[in-house]
Amino acid sequence: MYVAVKGGERAIEQSWDLLAKARRGNPDVPALTVTQIREQMRLAVSRVMSEGALYDETLAALAIKQAAGDLVEAIFLLRAYRTTLPRLGTTTPIDTAAMRLSRRISATFKDVPGGQVLGATYDYTQRLLDFALLAEGETSDAPLPGDMTNVSTSAHSRVATEAPAATGNASDIPDVPPIAATTRITDIMKRDGLLEALSTDSSDPEPHDLVHSPLFTPASRTARLQNLARGDEGFLLALGYSTQRGYGNDHPFAGEIRLGHVSLEIEPEELGFAIDIGEIAVTECQMVTQFGGNQETPPQFTQGYGLAFGHNERKAMAMSLVDRALRTKELGDEANSPAQQQEFVLYHSDNVEASGFVQHLKLPHYVDFQAELELVRRLRAEHAAKYGTPTDGSRADEGNANDTGTEGTRTEGSITAPAVQNTQEAA
């Protein structure tokens, strides 16, 4: 139960002013621009886009700036803006097999068609602070391996680049062209009958749309994947970790992790054929897990799937782990662990909803608390009448307490200040 809070408007407006000043920081320091955030904090931008369910790098960077780096608040801002946008159309399913790759690894086979492409990753760094980054004004125009900034964005094309002219500077790093479309590891395993076949045909139902249809459990896999795609990375990471520690009886392998650009196509009714409208960067992860089989299905590997906007490997991996855990009942096993419970996972994965519900506790609950306060006082009085315990906050053994006890200021074992009778006296 809530009551209207009267007054305080000027205090709220002043709080807004203080928030703007706190976000700006020291005015002698140059302001952080949206472009700088978009170009130099790309992993944060990717997370905000993915969990905010809106692919727009500039708006995601703006949300990060407005939220002063609080990514959950930035996700909230972007999700709120998304609700104001009309739906102009629906794209055809993206073809990640034709992804213009900038990173591609597999933990299942060493030698894979197309090779292992490390790309830009922190996986092989030593996690030591680089104090050289403290140097102000230090810039470098040399692109990193796998950097797609100066590469043509035309989809489904391999860009040929000429070797840079010799400059005598050994530190120059040449542009790296995108890798041509390569066969998926999972496709090779399916060919040999080692991986479950998840084929699509005309009989498949339309994917669930969480924007227009509420979530109910048990949910279809399309609804679960949509929910997980915008779920909180930390929550999914913890659940995925739990499945590896025994709460799920899974031992997954990273079949393949891909990072790159995929083209988007729409099929206008007046044209009758698909047209390319651009491309987006995505991270895809396919986890494979051993399945002992049953009377209908022989032993094989099953898979979990994860897809996220931008460079978002940890989120995609956690998503694929949880996706596989949520398929436990479908595969004929018992769902006993938290990560295998649809209702627990799907109804608690959204950080916008979770943040709002937790932080609403900061709002006035005066009436609720007064009701609780009166209830506790009545219960204390009943307890005193039944067991003879005092109701004024004192204890039966206070006579043995030291004069300078730890619970308030005491004089000869008694509390000097009377108990507060109501909130007005407290005020």
Exposed e or buried b per residue across 181-206, where buried means at least 16 C-beta atoms within 10 angstroms of its C-beta: bbebbbebbbeeeebbeeeeeeeeee
Q: What is the dihedral of CA 43, 57, 256, 148, to 10 degrees?
A: -90
| 128: its two tokens | 């030591």
Query: What per-residue confidence (pLDDT) applies to 77?
Result: 95
Residue 188 in 3-state DSSP? helix
Do residues 412 and 403 lie in contact, with contact meaning Cβ atoms separated by under 8 Å?
yes
Query: What per-residue confidence (pLDDT) applies to 177?
Result: 53
CB atoms within 10 A of CB 97: 13
DSSP 258: E
CB atoms within 10 A of CB 302: 20
Residue 340 in 3-state DSSP? helix
| 4: its two tokens | 């209207």
Angle ∠(59,64,68) on CA atoms, nearest 5: 145
Instruction: Tell which residue, 148, 188, 192, 200, has the closest CA to residue 286.
Output: 188
Cα separation of 257 and 305, whole Å?
A: 10
Cα separation of 326 and 221, whole Å?
A: 9
Backbone angles phi, psi at 287, to 5 degrees: -95, 140
Half-sphere exposure of 267 (CA within 13 A, CB side): 6
Query: What per-residue confidence (pLDDT) applies to 415?
Result: 39
CB atoms within 10 A of CB 393: 14
Residue 120 in 3-state DSSP? coil
- The helix, strand and coil proportions of the chain, stated in percent and rounded to the nearest 5, come to 35, 15, 50
Length of the chain: 427
Cα separation of 351 and 423, whole Å?
A: 35
DSSP 248: S
CB atoms within 10 A of CB 353: 14
pTM of the model: 0.76
Cα separation of 36 and 27, whole Å?
A: 18
List the chain pLDDT tens, one digit each, 427 residues. Answer: 344 555 578 888 888 888 898 888 888 888 899 999 999 999 999 999 999 999 999 999 999 999 999 999 999 999 999 999 998 888 888 888 888 888 998 888 888 888 888 888 888 888 888 888 888 665 544 444 444 444 334 333 333 333 333 333 433 444 445 556 677 888 888 887 788 877 665 556 788 888 888 888 888 888 899 999 999 999 999 999 998 888 877 788 888 999 999 999 998 888 888 899 999 999 999 998 888 777 777 788 888 999 999 999 999 999 999 999 998 888 777 888 888 888 899 999 988 889 889 988 888 888 899 999 999 999 999 999 888 866 665 555 554 444 444 444 444 443 344 444 444 444 3
Residues 6+ apart with CB under 8 A from 98: 155, 156, 181, 262, 263
